[in-house]
Structure 1
């Protein structure tokens, strides 16, 4: 396993060799009437670990981001359908009592927020609000850059705040079709990309849920070079990594940190048009095909591939520690911390070993209140939790004893 010094030199290599990505993509999310949420404001950091019991709403939280991505890629109508329709998009207890609303505060200069709201009318909906604003932290000084009313576009007076070429792109948007959002417009996202240091945040959101059973399958050699969210094309992605000597060196350096027994990995032809992953361990002379590789090993390979070889400023991963031996989880958390210097990372877990090795300020706790709505808080901000920690009770113990939930359940 690499030493601390080796890890330090690796970090230096990363900063020299890799293009430095934009730091924190999303500063805050506000959501209303979405799945198990009534109303929630979530302040995000560079590294965010969402913990909570089963059915507390962890997956629903990630679905907020999936919904945003689906709108950008497929349009609002399709995105709602992909969530199961209006019936399952909104909270079943609230139904039509409250509008759906989403506000995304971007970590930009100047600070900006994109927000929209939907009013439900039986089985249908209307767009009540759709706008991009400057200075969202202060309502008195908030300025609309562009907003849509019934598909009609209006541009705010922001000449002094934004570059002229950005404004020129925004002005190209004249009207929108019914039930269509600004976020669906490529020219709108292009303007945002220029504001966000050439990072297209909305087009690059992916929610990963590693599935070793998918990674074990043979895959057609002709396919996407970008990793699928279920890692079903892992063989194709690895093939492109391993033919590049610099990427290959980085890949095996990082892999040895979490899987020290792996000596080599190959992607080999299988039949005429298929590829398969094979792996050689240090104490064996045989390359094992994926059918004989453990789920934990494949998930660790997927994790390294996602963190170091997917050019995305925001990574969301559901239970990345699945099937991984508890002893290795401290190394996994170290890798997350390392990559969070250059990417914004959000993971979900209910594994106590992850909590044990994560600084408390990075932890978000999700729970259900007395009415069944999901709520999110930061335990580190609770004085009662600090008192327990000062008395040598570790965070993972507090979590298993439900003591991180010393919070208002209202």
Structure 2
């Protein structure tokens, strides 16, 4: 079976609370740490890449409060931020995409360096750009570029770089909002669920037409989490649309029907998480799904079903989950290698695999990850943290 892993490694520099990190990712990765440790900032860096490519870098930065809110400050002085994503495309080709952004004197900003390589420089498509000027490229034709935008947007029209663009824009990131999901929605593109679930009715309608097996799987898991729910479907209300749930009621011959406005936050959030995980179909699934605290508003008893859904979804789509829930992590069979500990040291986020004692305790079934989390013993590996202090370059070919 083809691996679901898209991003193999994420290197960040001066992004929000993250001074420097070098994180390897698997098919399923749990980012576990206390509130405020910086888990969301790690996901947001990848989300910014997607937003900057689907819209513009200017909009992506402004939605986050501007460049000053995105780049890390040290002793009051903001720094330039940089992102490097190493990837594996679905055809098996590997490569990386990286850029860094700095401020200009007039409160503007510029992409100082941008680089993309597929198959290694000299072996496949590649480009290197410095402040809007081409330094190197495998392509004879190169569209016009400017230093205030990511060049990959323009280069997406070239066959050589289209797979990279499609893969990066095929990522989805979610912090689902039941209130938004509850309100009637305007019909929208339903191929990819939006970040807070604002187009979930359109996504369910799209699955009804194009992937009924995926919708059946969503409904199967939803019934485990909320046993009284028999199913869900898109419902048209004039020019708007909403969700309609079928719910078993004691003494009723047929299920009663309720719109999303009558459903609890837990039910809507569960549906949102499951829809994010199983949207699309196995051949056209998102390349990566990042979900903020999927256990929120769910009864602890639903954790087992949620873990199973995460494992199943990770067989076709790479999954990254943030959590500080012992209940979600309370599984003796949870693989220690899927967990990354996130801690805040001096207001700076550090991310690393678990230390040896935590891994050994889990592998020997002495403690589950949830039990270690309750005991505050789910710790990052000190050697990995030390190694990350030797900052790797964002650009060029770097050591594995």
Q: Gapped runs of 5+ residues in structure 1?
A: 1-14, 157-166
More off after superposition, 309-318 vs 105-114: 105-114
Alpha-carbon deviation of 1:302? 1.7
> 1:345 corresponds to which residue?
319
Question: 1-side partners of 2:43 and 2:135: how far apart?
Answer: 32
> 1:224 corresponds to which residue?
189
> 1:308 corresponds to which residue?
278
- The root-mean-square deviation of aligned C-alpha atoms, in Å, is 2.9
TM-score by length of 2: 0.82
Confirm or deny that 1:376 pairs with 2:351.
yes
SS at the partner of 2:171?
coil
Question: 1-side partners of 2:66 and 2:123: how far apart?
Answer: 33
> 2:395 corresponds to which residue?
none
Query: Taking structure 1 as reference, are residues 97 and 251 closer, same or farther at Cα in structure 2, changes over 3 Å only?
Result: closer
- Kept after mapping to 2: 8 A contact 1:173/1:188: no
More off after superposition, 90-99 vs 222-231: 90-99
Alpha-carbon deviation of 1:309? 1.9
SS at the partner of 2:97?
strand
SS at the partner of 1:178?
coil
> 2:234 corresponds to which residue?
267
Question: 2-side partners of 1:257 and 1:191: how far apart?
Answer: 45
Alpha-carbon deviation of 1:27? 0.7
- Kept after mapping to 2: 8 A contact 1:104/1:114: yes
Count of residues in correspondence between the two structures = 368
Question: 1-side partners of 2:66 and 2:188: how far apart?
Answer: 30
> 2:393 corresponds to which residue?
none
> 2:112 corresponds to which residue?
128
> 2:219 corresponds to which residue?
252
Query: What are the equivalent positions in structure 2 for 1:2-401 lying under 5 Å apart?
Result: 23-93=4-74, 96=77, 98-108=79-89, 109-122=92-105, 123-133=107-117, 145-156=126-137, 170-187=139-156, 191-194=160-163, 200-220=166-186, 222-226=187-191, 227-242=193-208, 246=213, 248-270=215-237, 272-284=238-250, 285=252, 286-310=256-280, 311-357=285-331, 358-369=334-345, 371-379=346-354, 382-389=355-362, 390=364, 392-401=366-375
SS at the partner of 2:245?
strand
SS at the partner of 2:266?
helix
SS at the partner of 1:202?
helix
SS at the partner of 1:48?
strand
- C-alpha distance after superposition, 1:281-340 (max 9, x if no partner): 233442223233221111222222222223311111111111111111111111111111
TM-score by length of 1: 0.80
- Kept after mapping to 1: 8 A contact 2:113/2:131: no
SS at the partner of 1:404?
coil
SS at the partner of 1:177?
coil
Query: Taking structure 1 as reference, are residues 383 and 142 closer, same or farther at Cα in structure 2, changes over 3 Å only?
Result: farther
- Kept after mapping to 2: 8 A contact 1:190/1:200: no
Alpha-carbon deviation of 1:110? 4.3
SS at the partner of 1:235?
helix
SS at the partner of 1:225?
coil
Query: Taking structure 1 as reference, are residues 128 and 263 closer, same or farther at Cα in structure 2, changes over 3 Å only?
Result: closer
Question: 2-side partners of 1:247 and 1:383: how far apart?
Answer: 39
